[in-house]
Amino acid sequence: MKLNELTIKQAGEGLRNKEFSSVELTTAVLEAMKEKEDDINAYLAVTRDLALKQAKQADEIIAKSGEINSLCGIPAAIKDCILVEGIKCTAGSKILENYIAPYDATVIKKLKQAGAVIVGKTNLDEFAMGASTENSAYGPTKNPHDLERVPGGTSGGSAAVVAANEAIFALGSDTGGSIRQPAGFCGIVGLKPTYGRVSRYGLIAMTSSLDQIGPMSKTAEDAEIILEAISGFDKHDSTSVKKDRKVETMRRDFPISLKKAMKEASGISNSAPLKNVRIGIPNEYFSEGIDEVVEKKVREAIGKLEALGAEIVSVSLPHSKYALAAYYIIVPSEISANLARYDGIKYGKSQAPMTNDQLLDVYLQTRGQYLGKEVRRRIMLGTYALSAGYYDAYYVRAQKVRSLVKRDFERAFEEVDVLVAPTSPTTAFKIGERIEDPLKMYLADIYTCPINLAALPALSISCGMAGPPKGEALPKGGGLPVGLQIIGKHFDEETILGIAKIYENSVK
d(CA 48, CA 55): 10
What pairing do the DSSP bridges indicate for beta strands 43-46 and 117-122?
Answer: antiparallel
Q: What is the mean pLDDT of residues 8-15?
A: 97
319 in a structural domain = no
Q: Give the burial class of 38: count Cβ atoms within 10 A of its Cβ; 0-12 exposed, 13-18 middle, 19 or more buried.
A: exposed
Res 469: pLDDT: 67
What pairing do the DSSP bridges indicate for beta strands 117-122 and 189-192?
Answer: unpaired
Percent of the chain with pLDDT over 90: 83
46-77 tens-digit pLDDT: 999 999 999 999 999 999 986 789 999 999 99
First to last CA, the chain: 16
Lowest mean per-residue pLDDT among 297-311, 362-376, 398-412: 362-376
| pLDDT over threshold 50, residue 395 | yes
Q: What is the CATH number of the domain that holds 95?
A: 3.90.1300.10
d(CA 473, CA 140): 22
356-368 tens-digit pLDDT: 567 778 888 888 8
- H or E element in which residue 464 lies: strand 458-466
Q: What is the mean pLDDT of residues 294-313?
A: 97
316 in a structural domain = no
184 in a structural domain = yes
DSSP 103: S
| pLDDT over threshold 80, residue 252 | no
Res 305: pLDDT: 97
Distances (CA, A) of 202 to 94, 173, 336, 356: 19, 12, 19, 33
d(CA 196, CA 452): 12
* DSSP assignment of 170-201: EEEEESSSTTHHHHHHHTSEEEEPPTTTB--T
Predicted TM-score (pTM) of the model is 0.94
d(CA 331, CA 299): 32
307 in a structural domain = no
Distances (CA, A) of 301 to 260, 295, 427, 483, 498: 21, 10, 16, 10, 15
Res 249: pLDDT: 38
Q: What is the mean pLDDT of residues 367-384?
A: 95
d(CA 345, CA 290): 46
Res. 349 pLDDT band, cuts 50 70 90: confident
Res 98: pLDDT: 92
Neighbours of 265 (CB within 10 A): 7
Q: Containing domain of residue 70, as a range?
A: 3-230
Q: What is the mean pLDDT of residues 63-92?
A: 95
Mean pLDDT of the chain: 92
| CA R_g for the chain | 22
Q: Residue 393 — φ and ψ, nearest 5°?
A: -70, -30
Res 259: pLDDT: 52
Res 264: pLDDT: 39
Q: One-letter amino acid identity for 456? A: L
Q: One-letter amino acid identity for 177? A: G
126 in a structural domain = yes
255 in a structural domain = no
Contacts of 273 (CB under 8 A, 6+ apart): 261, 262, 308, 309, 502
3-state secondary structure 55-83: HHHHHHHHHHCCCCCCCCCCEEEEECCEC
Res 439: pLDDT: 87
- H or E element in which residue 465 lies: strand 458-466
Collapse the DSSP code of 11 into the 3-class scheme (helix H, G, I; strand E, B; otherwise coil) and give the result: helix
CB burial of 1-23 (b: ≥16 within 10 Å; e: otherwise) equals eebbebbbbbbbebbbeeebbbb
Res 476: pLDDT: 64
Tell which residue, 163, 128, 126, 127, has the closest CA to residue 39: 163
d(CA 454, CA 456): 5
Neighbours of 313 (CB within 10 A): 14
243 in a structural domain = no
- Overall domain count for the chain: 1
450-506 tens-digit pLDDT: 999 999 999 999 999 997 766 677 666 678 999 999 999 999 999 999 999 999 999
296 in a structural domain = no
108-143 tens-digit pLDDT: 999 999 999 999 999 999 999 999 999 999 999 999
